[in-house]
Structure 1
């Protein structure tokens, strides 16, 4: 569908329009007085969110990100679904599932009481069935206001249950990783993927001074990133999720990623809302499952 047709069907005067982004991908631009946001229809991916009055974007987006069919965009909120991490069946399918690297459909846009809502989605096709033989409707509901609400909705349209794991693989902008803490996970058990997946317990807040790749289990629904350099706290309130991933690649891995600048590891931290590890969700035939997060900024 062309940008002109998308605007005819879904633009909202004074709030939302479609533009052609890098790689020719359709981009949704929201500016509703409460916040600005950009959303890529490719990948169903929020790329930026900046509440009015905030000097810095809440989302990190790499200047070297790929904008090409078959590639994931490095930054914002990539979607991992219907599995998080490596192929759970060991069949060699792509890590993090089906959704990060394909074009979605615009289901609807609307001016709502607290801001602007965008719903993007995908249903199963012959292509997805060949990779993952399940019948589904999958959507992301995004509400841009002074907060950012993002919810993943899985509908099983088949006649048998299927298991999923999933994540909002969110990249948050921070002023300086050396002045950043992740609060709310003290005393929580986690799998340390940097140390062979060993299970450990978190002591106090998380400070990052080397590579971190941890899957936290049975987490509380409220986490906070204390962004000391920018003088703000980023709050993440999750629903339908008891798993969180904290990731920063640090210097060596960042230097080896072509879609990251060598120093980008100092400028972001991923705190991901997820169903992962031992939190596998069985979606019954004919039912739906919702997982999401509300992201806000306080000072």
Structure 2
């Protein structure tokens, strides 16, 4: 479906319109009385969310991000599904599954009010996806843009047997200075330290970043907070359907090695991810469904 058709079928003036990125990917622009946002239909990926009461975007997107078929866009909120992290069966399949590098479908758009806009994207199994993951499914992503940003990812299992998944919102939060940032809400929480060979450790106090960090926290509560004094704001993450969270920053060495990051980009973002990962595996019965939700609020 081309941009003209998308606008005819789904645009709602003045809140929702579709534009074409220079790559050819369709983008959805949202502009209501409380916030602006940009969503890539490719990957079902939020690229920008900015409340009009704040001067900075919630999200980070690399200036060197790839906008190419088959590649993930570096930044925003990539969707990891039906597995989080490396291929769980070691078959050489892509890390974080296949949703983030496929074109979604626009299922519905709504102007709920002058202040709140809702977009629903969907993805179903195809012969191509079944070669990667053999199960029939329906995936629905609801995005609500208002004074806060809410993502709801619903997996429907169309198999005749149960399936197991891991998944996540791989959210890149924009920060003013990584050296000043703290993540609150993880004190006294166990985590797997992937930088240290997956050793299990215990978090003491707030999380601060002064080197490469790649951790899966387990038995996590429903609210986490990123304190960002450099930008004078607090980012509040509230979730349901998740018992685990990932904190990731590649730091200098890995940033230098990544073709889709600028050398010092690690100073400008922190990933705090609402996930089902590690021991937090989701089993969905035949005909059943599972919902993962995250809400992001910006406070001064």
Q: TM-score range by the shorter chain?
A: over 0.9
Aligned to 1:139: 140
What's the TM-score once normalised by structure 2's chain length?
0.99
Provide Cα deviations, 1:5-52, integer angstroms capped at 9, x if missing partner: 000000011101000013110000000011000000000000000001
1:121-140 equivalences in 2 (<5 Å) = 121-140=122-141
* 1:116 and 2:117 are equivalent in the alignment: yes
Q: How far apart are the structure 1 equivalents of 2:295 and 2:53?
A: 19
Aligned to 2:103: 103
Aligned to 2:36: 36
SS of the equivalent of 2:100 reads coil
1:147-226 equivalences in 2 (<5 Å) = 147-226=148-227
SS of the equivalent of 1:213 reads strand
Provide Cα deviations, 1:227-285, integer angstroms capped at 9, x if missing partner: 11001000000010010000000001001101001010000000000000001000111
Aligned to 1:279: 280
Gaps of 5+ in 2: none
Q: How far apart are the structure 1 equivalents of 2:224 and 2:189?
A: 12
Alpha-carbon distance, 1:53 to partner: 2.0
Q: How far apart are the structure 1 equivalents of 2:159 and 2:288?
A: 10
Q: How far apart are the structure 1 equivalents of 2:159 and 2:215?
A: 34
Q: How far apart are the structure 2 equivalents of 1:70 and 1:250?
A: 26
Aligned to 1:20: 20
Aligned to 1:11: 11
Provide Cα deviations, 1:105-132, integer angstroms capped at 9, x if missing partner: 0011001145100011110111111111
Aligned to 1:263: 264
Q: How far apart are the structure 2 equivalents of 1:16 and 1:199?
A: 46
Alpha-carbon distance, 1:76 to partner: 0.2
What's the TM-score once normalised by structure 1's chain length?
0.99
Q: How far apart are the structure 2 equivalents of 1:176 and 1:110?
A: 36
SS of the equivalent of 1:24 reads coil
SS of the equivalent of 1:17 reads strand
Q: How far apart are the structure 1 equivalents of 2:133 and 2:149?
A: 30
Aligned residue-pair number: 299
Alpha-carbon distance, 1:133 to partner: 0.5
Aligned to 1:295: 296
SS of the equivalent of 1:130 reads helix
* 1:54 and 2:54 are equivalent in the alignment: yes
Q: How far apart are the structure 1 equivalents of 2:186 and 2:140?
A: 29
SS of the equivalent of 1:59 reads coil
Alpha-carbon distance, 1:157 to partner: 1.2
Q: How far apart are the structure 1 equivalents of 2:122 and 2:227?
A: 33
Aligned to 1:83: 83
Alpha-carbon distance, 1:158 to partner: 1.7
Gaps of 5+ in 1: none
